[in-house]
Amino acid sequence: MKYEGYLVDLDGTMYSGNTVIDGAIDFIDRLNRNGIPYVFLTNNATKTQQEAAQKLIDMGFDIHPETLYTSAMATAAYLENEQPGARIHVIGSESLKSTLAESGFTLADADVDYVVMGLDREINYDKLSRGALLIAEGAKLISTNPDRKFPTEAGLVPGNGSLVSVLASTTGVEPIVIGKPEGIILEAAVSTLGLPKDRVLLVGDNYDTDIRTGLDNGVHTLHVNTGVTPAEEVKKQERQPEYMIDHLKEWSVK
């Protein structure tokens, strides 16, 4: 089947850490040559749209910043719909904070409506304690993504979902999850392509996030065995992706 648009994951699909995955640049080049639109759909909330795009450009990808859609952007869009101008406490990177501040939200450490948590590589006990206390006072908990682990050049390391689970366990409050596999981020990304979902293919390496996003929300999926979930684990799942390959160079976009 020929697809008219693509949603493409980053970590584990395009690159691992700072290393380009074999066949990834060629895959994007083929989409470009054939005039096929695509959006990079990433659960990574540690970078702004421009920063995420610049990493790809520096690696040799021929892309434009507008092709990036991050869970930080989806979180901002969700909050704009739910409570414009809300007061929020952010546990996460400076880029996540700037994305939310630029969307009109007030960043604060007290009397907040939401605690928003994204991957924080400088997480500590004080940050987790502050978040737990604010939630106990009535703030809603938002997780930019549920990834419990993600691939690096050294191996798999803890993701945002693992850290958010500390707050959920402490407070008994389950987070509102924005990123994959939730439909919130998928619908927003598909709308930027301007295509019906049955003409779009989602490409990713993580069954629990990438593949489930498609399975749960009506988009066909292509699992690439270059990241989090190995083929043998995917094959054990009750629901299977439409396609599975070892490397993107095996996939024809025509």
pLDDT tens digits along 129-162: 999 999 999 999 999 999 888 878 788 899 999 9
pTM for the model stands at 0.89
Is 239 in contact with 43 (CB distance < 8 Å)?
no
* 11 catalytic per annotation: yes
* C-beta contacts of 208-211 below 8 A and 24+ residues apart: 208/146, 208/148, 208/181, 209/43, 209/145, 209/146, 209/147, 209/179, 209/180, 209/181, 210/9, 210/13, 210/180, 210/181, 211/181, 211/241
Catalytic residue among 9, 120, 147, 208: 9
Mean pLDDT of 93-122: 97
**Tokens, residue 201:** 């293919």
Cα–Cα distance, 30 to 195 (Å, whole number): 19
What percent of the chain lies above the pLDDT cut of 90? 91
pLDDT of the residue at 89: 98
Q: Pick out the residues of the known binding site for substrate.
A: 180
* 109 catalytic per annotation: no
pLDDT tens digits along 19-30: 999 999 999 999
Element (H, E) at 4: none
pLDDT tens digits along 35-64: 999 999 999 899 999 999 999 999 999 999
pLDDT of the residue at 153: 79
Taken in order of first residue, the domains within the chain and their CATH numbers are 5-71+180-250 (3.40.50.1000), 84-177 (3.40.50.1000)
Residue 149, helix vs strand vs coil: strand
User: Is 202's pLDDT higher than 90?
Assistant: yes
